[in-house]
Structure formats: structure tokens, C-alpha cells
Amino acid sequence: ARRVIAQREALNKINVFPVPDGDTGSNLAFTLGSVLTGALSRRTAGAGELLRKVGEDAIDGARGNSGAILAQFFTGVAEATGAEAAIAPGSLAQAIRAGASSARGALADPKEGTILSVITAFAESLESRAGITDVRTWYATALEQARRALANTPNQLPVLMKAGVVDAGAQGFVDMLEG
């Protein structure tokens, strides 16, 4: 969350889709700021409760398309996790996949080359790992897939190619993962 907040202006500068209004960074920062000052500033009984509170705070603080999509992602992850106190990697992968589906399902006309493509790539990479013994490598591999999906966004949306940028919301999601 702090990484995205720190990158807010850089994200605003590359914001050209769906409209070049220069607010994607601010919207993601506001949404994640709500999570940071809410759920991430308090102790919880376990992972399920934490994720539920993250989803609630993200929904309450969601701004703009990117913030709403991210909030739907977190809500989907939380719903799939339930009340579990601890989450095994395989269950976390399934929950992240559910979050990706929730984010995509919240849009009437989802577009590839956006934050949705990066969320999906991240989720699919996590799911494809069986018998996880090294969580750090598992996550790093999925992060690399998210970065590749980010780099591909200009190939999926002509407006990004023309502007010579990646999708701002997708970059914000990768920034969050990197943080």
C-alpha cells in the first residue's frame, strides 16, 4: 500500500485509459490508504478476518475504476478465504483466483490490457504451482508473471501503445505486489 501511495504521481502521469484524466494513482492511493489506516493498522484473530477487513476498507475507500476493481479483488479474496485463521499456499492461490474473478465480474465490459490482465496473470501463476515448499520462490514466480502481463498491456490496448505507456492501474497492482 505504501509503495503505491509513494508512486501515485508516476501512475497519474501514465493514466490514459479508459480516459486520460490523470487520477489512477490518486484513486489507488486513496483506496489503499483506507486499507492501510483501517485493517492494516489493527490486529486481527487470523488471516480470514484480516482479509475481510481489507475488503471492507477497500470498498469503503474505493475511488475511480482502478480503486473499485482493486476493492472487488480484495473482497473476492476475502470471501473465498472465509474465517480461516491461517491459509495454506494452495488455498491462498484459490482465493486470489476468486478475487481475480470477482474483479472481472464487477465490470460490464472488462478489457484486456488493464489491471484485470495483470491480476489474472498473477492468479494463474500462483495456481499453477503444486506442492509448494518455498513460498518466497512461489510468490516471486507469480510476481514475474504479473510483470510480464504488465509489459504486454500496450500490445492489448492501442491507446497505451500510442502513448508509449503501460496501463496505470496494472502498474499500480504490480507496485502493490512488489511492495
pLDDT of residue 130: 63
33 is written with which cell numbers? 490508504
Q: What is the pLDDT of residues 24-41, one digit of tens each?
A: 999 999 999 999 999 988
Taking 90 as the threshold, does the pLDDT of residue 68 lie above it? yes
DSSP letters spanning the chain: -HHHHHTHHHHHHT--SS---S-HHHHHHHHHHHHHHTGGGS--SSHHHHHHHHHHHHHHH--HHHHHHHHHHHHHHHHHHTT-SS--HHHHHHHHHHHHHHHHHT-SS--TTSHHHHHHHHHHHHHT--S---HHHHHHHHHHHHHHHHHHHHHH-HHHHHHT---HHHHHHHHHHH-
Taking 70 as the threshold, does the pLDDT of residue 13 lie above it? yes
Cβ-contact 51, 91 below 8 angstroms: no
When pLDDT is cut at 50, 70 and 90, the band that residue 127 belongs to is confident
> 92: closest CA among 52, 133, 48?
48
Mean pLDDT in residue range 38-49: 91
Question: 7-16, 38-47, 134-143 — which one is most confidently predicted on average?
Answer: 7-16
Taking 90 as the threshold, does the pLDDT of residue 105 lie above it? yes
Q: How much of the chain, in percent, has pLDDT values that exceed 70?
A: 98
Q: What is the pLDDT of residues 106-120, one digit of tens each?
A: 999 999 999 999 999
Question: 42-51, 129-138, 149-158 — which one is most confidently predicted on average?
Answer: 149-158
pLDDT of residue 156: 98
